[in-house]
Amino acid sequence: MSTHIRSRRESWGTIFYDNTLDEFSAEVHPGCTPTPESPIGVGWLVTAPCNLKCIHCYGNVEDLPSERLTTAQQLKVADEVIRAGVMRQILSGGEPLMRRDTLQVIDKLTDHGVATILGTNGTFLSSQAMKSVRRCTRVEISLDSMDERVNNEIRPSRNVKGNTYQETLRAISLCQDAGVSLRILTCLNRYNHQEVSALAQFLYERGIRDWAVSWTLSAGRAHHIYGELMPEDTTQVENVVEQLRLKYPDMQIRLSDRTVNYSRYYCLIWPNGTLGTEEILTGKKLFFSSLVTGSMRDGWTPENYDLDAHFRKWIAGRVRTVEQPLELRSRVA
């Protein structure tokens, strides 16, 4: 993947996105507060149904609206994403590839320069789909254990003949053969957190160099069994990951602790085309404004979102203070 840095000008400075590092940064003018004028990164649950029934699923079909948008409506939502200047768009679900028109959405977003990340369980990936899928900045596939039984207990298939583990490995190979930039996601809980080292070795030997590990978030299906899912001690994994980073220096290993104590920082589009978010503290899904009939800016307000936390989540500490260009200063004056 060639390096591409996108930028978005704001009244207070500029936001940058580096697709190779998958990282945002910002330049802020002195004395300005960097409040994003529209979302920086958005998660779009393009459909609710899924052929798996993972025990922790955040985009759990039973809590999502059942309304199904037409292809024309999906493309209208994509238009709003483009118009709002969203820089990093994740397409997930449910299983996004259960809708064939997700490939059209990918084509449209990438045609307009939106860095598009496909979050899929991989079971519907095919060589035909790769024509569009390979245009994504990155494909994220979940693998929660290299022990087939454990993985399939965490990520069971709704199909009695399904074998999530084997189908996931097939999808990984397909992406690698197509030269897709691939990231493996692992969601830790009390059943698999002891396996971090074994998973790292397994992935490394398969040629994977981008791995994101996170503790289960109290959202979606996990919210209802959170106490049961989480081990008492989560500190050991941090030390193990530090050692793994030394052992595999050419592998990017991210460990995010998403057991956050704030809410409403993540911008979501629900499967009915509504802009919203999820209250992490209560597990409540919130619905603000329709992108089928309105625009993204209608719902992007300080009443609906914690805009500062949204900025902090994406930009982290990568902020520089720079003087405003002279021509802009005189225009403002």
The binding site for ligand SF4 (CB under 6 A) comprises 50, 52-54, 57, 59, 93-95, 121, 155
Name the minimum Å distance from CB 77 to ligand SF4: 19
Of the candidates 283, 294, 284, 287, the residue with the CA atom closest to the CA atom of residue 270: 287
Of the candidates 195, 194, 253, 191, the residue with the CA atom closest to the CA atom of residue 222: 191
Sign of CA dihedral 146, 258, 41, 294: positive
The smaller minimum CB distance to ligand SF4, of residues 157 and 304, is found at 157
Joined together, the tokens standing for residue 255 give 């460990």
Q: Which residues contact 174 (CB under 8 A, 6 or more apart)?
A: 122, 125, 126, 127, 130
Name the minimum Å distance from CB 68 to ligand SF4: 16
Joined together, the tokens standing for residue 229 give 């899912």
**CB atoms < 10 A from the CB of 160, how many?**
5
Name the minimum Å distance from CB 141 to ligand SF4: 10
Residue appearing with tokens 């959405």: 105
The smaller minimum CB distance to ligand SF4, of residues 47 and 74, is found at 47
The smaller minimum CB distance to ligand SF4, of residues 220 and 273, is found at 220
| DSSP designation for 43 | E
Q: Which residues contact 210 (CB under 8 A, 6 or more apart)?
A: 138, 181, 182, 183, 184, 251, 252
Name the minimum Å distance from CB 165 to ligand SF4: 13
The smaller minimum CB distance to ligand SF4, of residues 88 and 155, is found at 155
Name the minimum Å distance from CB 94 to ligand SF4: 5
Name the minimum Å distance from CB 59 to ligand SF4: 5
Distances (CA, A) of 114 to 106, 111, 295: 9, 8, 17
Helix spans in 163-225 (H): 164-177, 196-205, 220-224
d(CA 128, CA 13): 42
The smaller minimum CB distance to ligand SF4, of residues 20 and 159, is found at 159
| DSSP designation for 264 | S
Name the minimum Å distance from CB 101 to ligand SF4: 18
150: three-class secondary structure by DSSP: helix
The smaller minimum CB distance to ligand SF4, of residues 51 and 234, is found at 51
The smaller minimum CB distance to ligand SF4, of residues 50 and 175, is found at 50
Name the minimum Å distance from CB 29 to ligand SF4: 41
d(CA 76, CA 82): 10
The smaller minimum CB distance to ligand SF4, of residues 60 and 324, is found at 60
Name the minimum Å distance from CB 140 to ligand SF4: 10
The smaller minimum CB distance to ligand SF4, of residues 57 and 199, is found at 57
